[in-house]
């Protein structure tokens, strides 16, 4: 209770990012970076220009420059002091697609950063297969998201990566500026989610994430609430309490509420897993698997960032976002394998493995949120299972659900922002594996096979009938082992843009 009081006082009187939280490290900007990294600027004010060219349409280049372009897929010309970067986007302009533009934009931004360029304009060619506005949005997104590095703890100037500070996007035909403010807002959300996930867990603990959420709420007009301290058990969030009971920073359930749809309109509920560090608990993770577990709160990071963007864009819909926050720590107070816990819903759960903690935190958040808001649609998002990474790799999230129209809408939203998802099944056999003898449910299936599916089946037990529900397992795309395209190594912010795009669809 004393800890809870200190949290409330800090929220009322202190700035969200104190020197103590920064641990005295010199930083060029406050982290997380709520304003993004690169701003959109007026055409003609930049240092460099990027031209997308095809091998058939590079007639203005000299033979030597063309050879360089075909060899490296990029070459440079100069007109006075202004550099023009020619980036190869394909062979035939009539057969260029969005992924070609993404890859070429990523290549161009990497090159500009290596050249220490601070601002650039991207000239969009006329592409028969892609409308100009869509092509510009793809380029803008790929440029803003390639232009990312988590630089907070780099104190030596010679080691700090150079990042673009200004960007403009123009049409090649009439030089019209094609800046899309919505794309900029979405990318800023992704950068916020990345910064939260990439921050180390001794800083980004549950109280810190709560404080950031409170700051975001005050900034954007979102309604904020938190259940922490003794109130966690008082509200019967016993699964969440069990996960976090061994940690220095207590578990908590944060909510952010956007009433864009008006009184009586149905609610869309988002629930993000926020395990700020996952040791595995007493089922301890080994060396090689534990080091990156500050990233295990990627679902909560995406949810928080999405709620901020939803408020900024004034999406005309009622949306509530829950952050289920806890550290899964080891110590004398840590919960134990085969402990039986009564959930908020009333179902009893035998904890088969303390390293399957995320589903426990999510289960109570799902149950509590439904009881309070009676949502028509629910999405939970979590870096949940290694099994999903085995199934799909790092480039797509597993999508589970109970409503075909809703999962189709989620897949469409993900495709629109290049956050790809893939439908996965929950078969009767997956649910059967969870049936207990001494408790209503076991928290995991009987073996390692089908682990992503049994985890989804467990979560489905906490969804009331009649509600459209989907589960996004982002264990792969939420935390990359190495950079790929505009997704960096580490926390990628995956899911933030998908959730905002979904919320903007009136039919879901």
Cα 103 from chain centroid?
Answer: 21
Nearest to 162, CA basis, from 142, 140, 146, 183? 146
**Catalytic residue check, 110:** no
Q: Looking at residue 27, what is its pLDDT?
A: 35
Pairing mode of beta strands 421-423, 397-401: parallel
DSSP state of 243: H
Nearest to 463, CA basis, from 271, 297, 259, 263? 271
Euclidean distance between CA atoms 384 and 498, whole angstroms: 18
Euclidean distance between CA atoms 1 and 223, whole angstroms: 23
Q: What is the pLDDT along the chain (508 residues), one digit of tens a residue?
A: 223 333 332 333 334 444 444 443 333 348 999 999 999 998 888 999 999 988 777 778 899 999 999 999 999 999 888 899 999 998 777 677 899 999 999 999 999 999 999 999 999 888 888 999 999 999 999 999 999 999 999 999 889 999 999 999 998 877 789 999 999 999 999 999 999 999 999 999 999 999 999 999 999 999 999 999 999 999 999 999 999 999 999 999 999 999 999 899 999 999 999 999 999 999 999 999 999 999 999 999 999 999 999 999 999 999 999 999 999 999 999 999 999 999 999 999 999 999 999 999 999 999 999 999 999 999 999 999 999 999 999 999 999 999 999 999 999 999 999 999 999 999 999 999 999 999 999 999 998 899 999 999 999 999 999 999 999 999 999 999 999 999 999 999 999 999 999 999 976 7
8 A C-beta contact, residue 31 and residue 17: yes
Q: Looking at residue 94, what is its pLDDT?
A: 66
Cα 464 from chain centroid?
Answer: 26
Nearest to 145, CA basis, from 488, 500, 481? 488
**Catalytic residue check, 359:** yes
Spell out a b/e string for 349-364, using b for 16 or more CB atoms within 10 Å of the CB, else e: bbbbebbbbbbbbbbb
Output the 3-class SS for 269-295.
EEEEEEEEEECCCCCCCCCCCCCCHHH
Find the catalytic residue in 113, 252, 359, 411. Answer: 359
What 54-62 contacts at long range (C-beta under 8 Å, 24+ apart), as own/partner pairs, is 54/88, 54/89, 54/90, 54/91, 54/92, 54/93, 54/96, 55/88, 55/90, 55/91, 56/91, 56/92, 56/93, 57/93, 57/125, 58/86, 61/86
How far from each other are the two terminal CA atoms of the chain, in whole angstroms? 40
401: which strand partners?
470
* Plot region of 464 (φ>0 → left; ψ -120 to 50 → alpha; else → beta): beta
Backbone angles phi, psi at 474, to 5 degrees: -105, 25
Dihedral sign, Cα of residue 89, residue 94, residue 95, residue 101: positive
What six digits make up the tokens of 145? 């998201």
Nearest to 204, CA basis, from 358, 11, 31, 14? 31
8 A C-beta contact, residue 214 and residue 323: no
Q: Looking at residue 96, what is its pLDDT?
A: 78
Euclidean distance between CA atoms 253 and 250, whole angstroms: 10
Find the catalytic residue in 285, 372, 420, 467. Answer: 285
Q: Looking at residue 5, what is its pLDDT?
A: 30
Sequence-ordered list of residues with C-beta below 8 angstroms from that of 45, at least 6 positions apart, any chain: 119, 166, 168
DSSP state of 265: P
What six digits make up the tokens of 44? 């003609």
349: which strand partners?
341, 441
Cα 250 from chain centroid?
Answer: 23
8 A C-beta contact, residue 418 and residue 445: no
Q: Looking at residue 28, what is its pLDDT?
A: 35
What six digits make up the tokens of 125? 């060619």
8 A C-beta contact, residue 169 and residue 284: no
8 A C-beta contact, residue 272 and residue 321: yes
């Amino acid at each position: 209770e004393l800890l809870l009081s200190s949290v409330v006082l800090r929220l009322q009187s202190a700035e969200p990012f104190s020197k103590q939280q920064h641990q005295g490290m010199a930083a060029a900007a406050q982290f997380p970076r709520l304003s993004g990294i690169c701003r959109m600027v007026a055409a003609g004010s930049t240092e460099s220009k990027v031209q997308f060219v095809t091998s058939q349409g590079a007639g203005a280049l000299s033979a030597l420059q063309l050879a360089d372009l075909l060899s490296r897929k990029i070459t440079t010309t100069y007109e006075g002091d202004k550099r023009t970067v020619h980036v190869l986007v394909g062979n035939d302009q009539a057969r260029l697609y969005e992924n070609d533009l993404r890859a070429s934009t990523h290549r161009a931004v990497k090159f500009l950063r290596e050249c220490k360029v601070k601002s650039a304009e991207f000239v969009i060619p006329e592409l028969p297969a892609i409308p100009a506005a869509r092509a510009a949005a793809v380029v803008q997104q790929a440029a803003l998201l390639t232009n990312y590095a988590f630089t907070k703890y780099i104190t030596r100037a010679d080691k700090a990566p150079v990042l673009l500070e200004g960007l403009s996007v123009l049409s090649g035909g009439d030089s019209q500026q094609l800046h899309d403010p919505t794309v900029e807002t979405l990318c800023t959300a992704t950068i916020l989610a990345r910064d939260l996930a990439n921050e180390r867990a001794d800083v980004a603990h549950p109280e810190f994430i709560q404080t950031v959420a409170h700051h975001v709420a005050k900034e954007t007009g979102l309604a904020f609430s938190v259940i922490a301290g003794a109130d966690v058990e008082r509200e019967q969030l016993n699964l969440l309490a069990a996960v976090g009971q061994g940690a220095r920073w207590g578990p908590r359930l944060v909510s952010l509420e956007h009433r864009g749809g008006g009184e009586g309109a149905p609610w869309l509920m988002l629930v993000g897993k926020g395990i700020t560090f996952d040791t595995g608990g007493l089922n301890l993770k080994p060396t090689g698997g534990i080091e990156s577990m500050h990233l295990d709160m990627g679902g909560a990071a995406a949810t928080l960032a999405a709620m901020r963007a939803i408020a900024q864009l004034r999406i005309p819909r009622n949306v509530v976002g829950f952050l289920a926050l806890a550290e899964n720590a080891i110590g004398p107070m840590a919960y134990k394998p085969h402990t039986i816990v009564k959930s908020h819903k009333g179902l009893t759960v035998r904890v088969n493995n303390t390293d399957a903690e995320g589903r426990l935190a999510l289960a109570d958040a799902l149950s509590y949120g439904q009881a309070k808001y009676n949502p028509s649609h629910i999405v939970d998002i979590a870096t949940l299972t290694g099994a999903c990474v085995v199934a799909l790799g790092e480039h797509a999230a597993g999508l589970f659900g109970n409503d075909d129209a809703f999962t189709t809408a989620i897949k469409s939203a993900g495709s629109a922002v290049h956050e790809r998802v893939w439908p996965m099944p929950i078969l009767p056999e997956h649910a059967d594996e969870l049936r207990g003898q001494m408790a209503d449910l076991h928290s995991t299936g009987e073996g390692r096979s089908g682990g992503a599916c049994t985890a989804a089946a467990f979560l489905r037990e906490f969804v009331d009938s009649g509600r459209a529900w989907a589960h996004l397992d982002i264990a792969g795309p939420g935390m990359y082992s190495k950079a790929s395209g505009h997704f960096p190594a580490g926390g990628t912010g995956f899911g933030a843009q998908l959730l905002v795009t979904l919320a903007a669809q009136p039919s879901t």
